[in-house]
A and B are shown apart, each in its own frame.
Chain A
Amino acid sequence: MATLHVLSHSPFGDERLDSCLRLLGADDGVLLCGDAVYALREGSDTQRQLQAANLAQRLFALDEDLQARGISGALAKAVGYQAFVELSLHYDKVNSWL
């Protein structure tokens, strides 16, 4: 079952992003929101980690959270809430890393 993983914690404070990428299925997607969008910071280890994970077309970030933090996040597709809803339907289930 293709799962959309929703991350909202900063990747610099805990291991959620590492754990998520470790068990990510081939068809799973990742949506970064809140402080999790810091993972896309230019030149950071986490950005390299995401690049290496090869998530083309499967990595998304909530647009308002990118904007609020001044992160360009070229690696991810920026989405609004409408697209968040559509993503949650596109994938079979949504797993929030609370």
Chain B
Amino acid sequence: MKFAIAVFSPAHAPSSRRALRFAEAVLAGGHEIARLFFYQDGVHSASANVVTPQDEQDIAAQWRAFIEINRLDAVACIAAALRRGVLDEAEASRYQRPAVNLPKPWELSGLGQLHEAAQTADRLVCFGGD
């Protein structure tokens, strides 16, 4: 079965960790992840500049590794990302900002990608809040 997973919370929120563990279990169960969509504060997980205290789990790094190892389609909502200063090279240059903090494998794209993922997948599961 195909899953679309939407994450609304930043990497330091328990729900982001829960989403990651759920996503791992989806793949472990032999299912497919059509797309990971990071919305609202979830886009902070895509930032390469997140520094997690040493005595905490670095969930942002775990998301990145999970996406790279499994070659997943991971989209950060462009409007949510821009307002939070999460920029790829194209957007940093478009708005003349001094830093790029959204490297591959992340993509910036619109809410349409969440809609499309929800249509493509058998299940949409959202994670957010606490």
Contact = CB atoms under 8 A, between A and B. Distances in A.
Nearest to A13: B130
Given A89-B123, A94-B124, A8 B129 contact: yes
Contact of B1 (A34, A89, A97): A89
Most chain A CB within 10 A, of B1, B22, B28, is at B22
B53 interface: no
A9 B124 contact: no
A93 to B, nearest CB: 7
A24 to B, nearest CB: 18
Interface residues on A, range: 20 to 34
Contacts of A84: 22, 25
A82 B22 CA distance: 8
Given A81-B25, A85-B31, A89-B1, A34 B128 contact: no
A98 B130 CA distance: 8
The B contact surface, by secondary structure, is mixed
A98 B13 CA distance: 12
Contacts of A97: 129
A84 B31 CA distance: 13
A14 B22 CA distance: 25
A10 B130 contact: yes
Interface of B: 1, 3, 8, 14-15, 18, 21-22, 24-26, 28-29, 31, 122-130
Interface of A: 6, 8-10, 33-35, 62, 80-82, 84-86, 88-89, 93-94, 96-98
